[in-house]
Amino acid sequence: MPGREDIRLRDMQFVLIQESLRVHVIQVALLFAYYYKTRLGKRRRESGSLKWEIIRKMPDQARHLTRLYGISDVDCISNLRMDRRTFARLCVILRDRGGLVDGRFVTVDEQVAMFLSVLAHHKKNRVVRFDFWRSGQTISHYVHTVLGAIIRLHDMFLSKPVAVPADCNDSRWRWFKGCLGALDGTYVSVMVGNEDKPRYRTRKGQISTNVLGVCDRYLNFSYVLAGWEGSAADSRILRDAISRPHGLKVPKGKYYLCDNGYANSEGFLTPFKGVRYHLKEWGPNNARPQNKEELFNLRHSKARNAIERAFGILKMRWGILRSPSFYPIRVQNRLIMACFLLNNFIRMEMPIDPVEEQLDAMPQGNGEILEEAPDEFVEQVESSPQWNAARNALADAMWLQYVNNHV
């Protein structure tokens, strides 16, 4: 039997163990309390700092937006490529039909302004972030959001082609009854990976995508196909556009004007080959048409000039089409589509297009326009007296200079 002293000693040890455990529990509880209080205080300070930073930037953001589209049409056109009325109408359409909604801190107007700034001046994300006092993540998010809304409304922005009537009085089109407009391809520089550069390299060595554009008589685009590599031939792209379920549709008896890069077939009218065609070949010092083929080519060139003018206006309006962007190629193609769609919207909403007036005021030289005419290629490899005479003349000039320098 344990004695009384042993029992007292055991009870004392049990009490000490209990007291030690109680102290440890209290210490752990205090540590958790201190940690929770510290973290919570830090979060509150960060939250308060974030709110203060947002509040502090609001006057600068409001001031920038007011200067951008709230004071004058001149500033709005210079920065966003449309006047204040057109910009407001675009925002209403994208909100009501495109699905755009006001964010917690960013309104639809500011979202659209960010997107138009990128297209109009090809601004980088960091530049737009600085201008609008927003984070780079916010800019990227809303650029893609507005882009998706515009692409969803492509049926609304594309024009519906109307054939040239029999009583047309326009001197350029009255010879082409039933014509729906003109089509051609244009190159837009893009940025792709090294493994894709051979496919996107054009015959001139540029890394570009070949975009098929179709416009009506009034320079409004009715169909756009972007995404083909720069090495793809125009005729191949047109065949792809025709074969798509929702592609280019040409009714029977109607047609488009094309250049010699396409085949002269039903629905597509091309000029005579081997006969002068481009407008710069018909200057005031050149002879008049000598036969029916030349007369047809001259009138065909004047009418088909609409697609070249449409491309010129498009590239003058949107700076992102004049240099490659750093977006993925899929996003670049969607941005090209958005440029075509917004170009139509601006031309339909604004009674006077300042970009077209600027294009008309530029010296073109013998009727040549901004978009360069397609190159003509050698179709056969045969010796000719004219080419032999030119080679002999060049050789004579080289020899004469060589002799004179060594006398």
- The lowest-confidence range among 2-11, 38-47, 112-121, 226-235 is 38-47
Q: Is the residue at 17 inside a domain?
A: no
pLDDT digit string (tens) for 338-383? 999 999 999 999 988 888 887 776 655 433 333 443 333 222 223 3
Instruction: Determine the structural domain holding residue 199 and report its residue range.
Output: 164-361
Do 179 and 87 reside in the same domain of the chain? no
- How many domains does the structure of the chain reveal? 2
Distance (Å, whole) CA 406 – CA 112: 70
Do 270 and 299 reside in the same domain of the chain? yes
Tell me how far apart the 2 most distant CA atoms of the chain are, in Å. 139
Do 99 and 170 reside in the same domain of the chain? no
pTM: 0.74
Distance (Å, whole) CA 340 – CA 90: 15
Does 161 have pLDDT greater than 70?
Answer: yes
Q: Which helix (DSSP H) or strand (DSSP E) does residue 214 occupy?
A: strand 208-215
**Beta bridge mates, 210:** 187, 228
Does 393 have pLDDT greater than 50?
Answer: no
Q: Which helix (DSSP H) or strand (DSSP E) does residue 295 occupy?
A: helix 292-317
Distance (Å, whole) CA 225 – CA 203: 20
Distance (Å, whole) CA 237 – CA 214: 12
**Local confidence band at 42 (pLDDT 50, 70, 90 cut-offs):** very low
Q: Is the residue at 343 inside a domain?
A: yes
Distance (Å, whole) CA 255 – CA 238: 13
Q: How many residues does the structure list for the chain?
A: 407
Q: Is the residue at 396 inside a domain?
A: no
Distance (Å, whole) CA 333 – CA 331: 5
Distance (Å, whole) CA 267 – CA 256: 6
Do 103 and 172 reside in the same domain of the chain? no
Q: Is the residue at 40 inside a domain?
A: no
Do 100 and 120 reside in the same domain of the chain? yes
Q: Is the residue at 214 inside a domain?
A: yes
